[in-house]
Structure 1
Amino acid sequence: MNVRGIIKDAFKVIIQDAAMKPVLLLCACVASLTSIGSAFAADRPPNIVFIMADDLGPGWVDYDGSNPDLNTPNLQRLANEGMTFTKAYAAAPVCSPTRAACITGLAPARIGLTTHVPGKAGNERPGPKGGPREADSLNHLPLDLPSYARELKLLGYATGFIGKWHLAGEGSIGTPDGIVNRDYHPERFGFDVNVGGCAYGQPRSWFAPYHNGTIADRKPGEYLTDRLGDEAAAFINDHRDRPFHLTLWPYSVHTPIKAPRDLVAKNGGDAYRAMVESLDGAVGKVLDALEATGNADRTLVVFYSDNGGHIPTEGLADKKASLLEGGLRVPMVVRWPGVIEPGTTCAVPVTSMDFFPTFVQASGGVPPETVPLDGVDLAPLFRGANRLERDALYWHFPHNRMEVSHYMGSVILEDEWKFYLGHGLIKNKLFNLQTDPGETRDVSAEFPDRAERMRHKLERWLAETSAKMPKSPRQTR
């Protein structure tokens, strides 16, 4: 419906019928304005809600009710009403770089923020004896980079951030209130509201008082995930009559593993499963608020995780901090009524940088051209396409996390082929995920041409992004 055309036609009627009696003229004006209001409602862009869990592996969500050990009915509801992505990836195997990639649409290597923001000055960990040291990594998200919240705000959206940010300086758990430098808080990246977002990478306390300078304590003993769900529902209610974007990034299920006693008891004493259920409850508060405000049918909802689980997913190799599938694969489901067919699945690989162009283009905007984005719009997949216009995904994690097997390295994924570049610390490897989803067998000797071609392609990408590389033991800052 063309709003400008309706306005133009309405004024034509008013001008042509100016000789009408005042009551008739008033009726004509009211009818015209009603048409205009209907046109504006029809042209209103979708609300956008982006929920991202922390450290949740894909095996810890029950989408179909088949796992009695997991209680995630609200995520099951989302899956029934939307599209489940079976090959969703995080941009990094740890949290901060994935969060930066989501906000900016840029790969962590291009940003220069490739590991989680450290809890103290300096972020180089020494490698194993004789091995390389970590590459440098930024300790905050630079203000001059793109932000989907800024773009949505320019398009008239109310924008809210609730939860974990972990992109605001070298503070993490070591500060009394999580605040190191407010200049790098969500408000500086286009969010009108910020509840919980500071330098913390994990809560100082799961129960109030939270010791978080961006959350006003409400009642002693309140559980953080419950509170963030309440704040998300309040934001939706407060902005029910205009386009809004909500980024809800709960701290759950990050360590320390703690949950309310009643949920722990309900889950047979398993605090981790209790945390998962609490996270699902926060999702439910969002879905219920959308229903109650009449916004459910005009809201794009995304559920995602920032990296693989710190508790491994069965069938995937390794866990958080690894460049194998267990560190990179994440749960993802998207609901968009009228666009996505309910109860569908998608096996096309997608990643964190894709959310920026997807959100901006869904809102009717155009991503800025000042910086070439590394993500692509996912809308074709929402509408049933089985491919995207890109030929590979890339990762760069030049950091030492020796609690897993494949850490210091870079990766390229082409279809089912995955090449791992170990930077001299770990042997280069080629995996075929179709025949070997557990990444147990290096087939580079069987397919040397493919391995060499993928290595060259990966190295070109590292050069193009100006990726910071590991340092030899003799190098210094």
Structure 2
Amino acid sequence: MKPLTALTLTLGLLVTCVSADEKPNIVFIMADDLGPGWVDFDGSSKEINTPNLERMAKSGMVFNRAYAAASVCSPTRAACISGMSPAALKLTTHIPGLAGKRHPAPKGEPTDAMSINQLPLDSPSYARELKKQGYATAFFGKWHLAGEGSIKTKDGMVAPKFHPEHFGFDINIGGCAYGQPKSWFDPFKNGTIKNRKKGEYLTDRLGDEAVAFINANADKPFHISLWLYSVHTPIKAPKDLVKKNGGNAYLAMLESMDGAVGKVLDALEKKGLRENTMVIFYSDNGGDKPTKWLAEKKGSLLEGGLRVPMAVTWPKVIKAGTQTDEPVNTMDFFPTFVHAAGGSTEGIKQLEGYDLMPLFQGKEKLDRDALYWHYPHNRKGVKYNMGSEIIAGDWKFYLGYGKTKDALYNLKKDSMEKDNVLAQHPEVADKMRVKLEKWLKSVDAEMPVIP
């Protein structure tokens, strides 16, 4: 794997000494296909019932401009674990991602770039780094980084050597090649989950597993990646919750997801661990259901495809009821976790993220000048899908491939991205284009084939 030395010059890498009793527990909860506007802490509609997420937000910090590393799931998940951008990993679309084979180009449009079908075993992993610091580690939920063809299997087992336990997790329950559940109810038809109670709902089960891990490891620092399958299709939820939500299964899924969050928070409180536990709630890409105040949805490089809800609670460090407008991205979790645990990322040259601790401690901004994206793939049903992108300050520049033209938006004035102002500000677009192309070259990005 090619070292990305050009990307590590200004990351502010830290070496921290933290005693064993000061090491925070770290719980990373990630939803699937959940956009802003579908949880209580970010201006959702009244019928949404997520009180535990509201509880998280009130006790910590809400990130108003949290972004996913990609507009679809697998690339973001790979970027989370590795701290590397999807472009650098060559994993730029959801698995399976063979170029041109499953994403045929519309007439006259470019053919997809190559994208690999698993997270390489030699990739950096925050779980491995946390284990070096004495952490017990567990993965519960959706992985979707272990090979193609899971839809044809009976148990999601395609390439087990790429499962979470090979990336530093002591326990893996739920993580296989599946991009969505084969069954939401026990029997789960998942080779990494032992069935225990017929009809049990998957989200409930994963929450219970996280609680059991907390109880079993309360006397040592631990990390949990609880990556829920909710709220990915198919939209199904327990009958009692569907009835409670007026027959709306999606709202019922949201409430169930929130229930799993509540189980974790309650378990931490009962064990006296809440004060020094960092709990993150995040999503892997924009919503499959659109956000009212953002353009487009999952699959698009417009804001609705990339923006996600995010809240972090850590009472020992983060002041309750705070929020930030500073843009953050998926790759930031790796250095944040490792540094908080007392580890160093100095020798991991591939990392592209920034430590979020300064924001946790009240600093208004990070020392980062831009965020980047690269999605060299055709995707039906959304605008601005194939392209590359840079956000710097209030400006967003989209580099189009094929028939989609370049665009420049001022996100502060135009969050719905209705007004392409490239013609009015060519000098801004030119500067951002240069930075974007320099980044694409630095990560050796795979490019689409232009006809």
Normalised-by-shorter TM-score class: over 0.9
Structure 1 partner of 2:40: 62
Tell me how far apart the structure 2 counterparts of residues 396 and 157 of structure 1 sit (CA, whole Å): 33
Tell me how far apart the structure 2 counterparts of residues 391 and 66 of structure 1 sit (CA, whole Å): 30
Structure 1 partner of 2:274: 296
Tell me how far apart the structure 1 counterparts of residues 224 and 325 of structure 2 sit (CA, whole Å): 26
- Check conservation: 1:135, 1:398, Cα contact below 8 A: yes
Structure 1 partner of 2:395: 417
SS of residue matched to 1:251 = coil
Match of 1:47 among 20, 25, 47: 25
Structure 2 residue identity aligned to 1:336: W
Give ranges in structure 1 of 5+ residues lacking alignment. 1-38
Structure 2 partner of 1:131: 109
1:99 equivalent in alignment to 2:77: yes
SS of residue matched to 1:451 = helix
SS of residue matched to 1:262 = helix
Structure 2 residue identity aligned to 1:318: E
Tell me how far apart the structure 1 counterparts of residues 99 and 373 of structure 2 sit (CA, whole Å): 25
Indicate how the Cα distance of structure 1 residues 66 and 183 shifts in structure 2: closer, same or farther if over 3 A, else same: closer
Indicate how the Cα distance of structure 1 residues 468 and 216 shifts in structure 2: closer, same or farther if over 3 A, else same: same
More off after superposition, 165-174 vs 187-196: 165-174
Shift, 1:68, TM fit:
2.3
SS of residue matched to 1:173 = helix
Tell me how far apart the structure 2 counterparts of residues 439 and 67 of structure 1 sit (CA, whole Å): 23
Indicate how the Cα distance of structure 1 residues 90 and 64 shifts in structure 2: closer, same or farther if over 3 A, else same: closer
Structure 1 residue identity aligned to 2:121: L
Tell me how far apart the structure 2 counterparts of residues 120 and 357 of structure 1 sit (CA, whole Å): 31
- Check conservation: 1:48, 1:301, Cα contact below 8 A: yes
1:401 equivalent in alignment to 2:375: no
**How do residues 15-30 of structure 1 correspond to structure 2 at under 5 angstroms?**
none
1:176 equivalent in alignment to 2:133: no
Residue-pair matches, total = 434
Structure 2 partner of 1:213: 191
- Check conservation: 2:93, 2:375, Cα contact below 8 A: yes
Tell me how far apart the structure 2 counterparts of residues 303 and 148 of structure 1 sit (CA, whole Å): 17
Tell me how far apart the structure 2 counterparts of residues 65 and 106 of structure 1 sit (CA, whole Å): 31
Sequence identity (%): 65
1:163 equivalent in alignment to 2:154: no
Structure 2 partner of 1:201: 179
Tell me how far apart the structure 2 counterparts of residues 252 and 55 of structure 1 sit (CA, whole Å): 8
The higher relative CO (CA closer than 8 Å, separation ≥ 6) is in 2
Structure 1 partner of 2:10: none
**How do residues 112-127 of structure 1 correspond to structure 2 at under 5 angstroms?**
112-118=90-96, 124-127=102-105
Structure 2 residue identity aligned to 1:395: W
Structure 1 residue identity aligned to 2:74: S
Shift, 1:174, TM fit:
2.0
Structure 1 residue identity aligned to 2:308: V
Structure 2 partner of 1:273: 251
**How do residues 311-350 of structure 1 correspond to structure 2 at under 5 angstroms?**
311-350=289-328
SS of residue matched to 2:343 = coil
SS of residue matched to 1:354 = helix
SS of residue matched to 2:37 = helix
Tell me how far apart the structure 2 counterparts of residues 140 and 394 of structure 1 sit (CA, whole Å): 22
Structure 2 partner of 1:261: 239
- Check conservation: 2:60, 2:319, Cα contact below 8 A: yes
Tell me how far apart the structure 2 counterparts of residues 169 and 311 of structure 1 sit (CA, whole Å): 27
Structure 1 residue identity aligned to 2:258: D
Cα shift readout 1:182-223 (whole Å, capped 9, x = no counterpart): 110000000000000000000001011110000000111111
Match of 2:205 among 227, 235, 258: 227
- Check conservation: 2:66, 2:307, Cα contact below 8 A: yes
Cα shift readout 1:56-96 (whole Å, capped 9, x = no counterpart): 00110112797421000000000010000000000000000
Tell me how far apart the structure 2 counterparts of residues 108 and 377 of structure 1 sit (CA, whole Å): 19
More off after superposition, 268-277 vs 368-377: 368-377
Structure 2 partner of 1:27: none
- Check conservation: 1:105, 1:354, Cα contact below 8 A: yes
- Check conservation: 2:91, 2:117, Cα contact below 8 A: yes
Cα shift readout 1:104-149 (whole Å, capped 9, x = no counterpart): 1000000000001118897552222111011110100000010000
- Check conservation: 2:139, 2:169, Cα contact below 8 A: yes
Structure 1 partner of 2:409: 431
Indicate how the Cα distance of structure 1 residues 295 and 303 shifts in structure 2: closer, same or farther if over 3 A, else same: same
Structure 1 residue identity aligned to 2:68: A
Structure 1 partner of 2:225: 247
Tell me how far apart the structure 1 counterparts of residues 399 and 150 of structure 2 sit (CA, whole Å): 30
Tell me how far apart the structure 1 counterparts of residues 44 and 337 of structure 2 sit (CA, whole Å): 32
- Check conservation: 1:82, 1:342, Cα contact below 8 A: yes
Tell me how far apart the structure 2 counterparts of residues 169 and 304 of structure 1 sit (CA, whole Å): 24
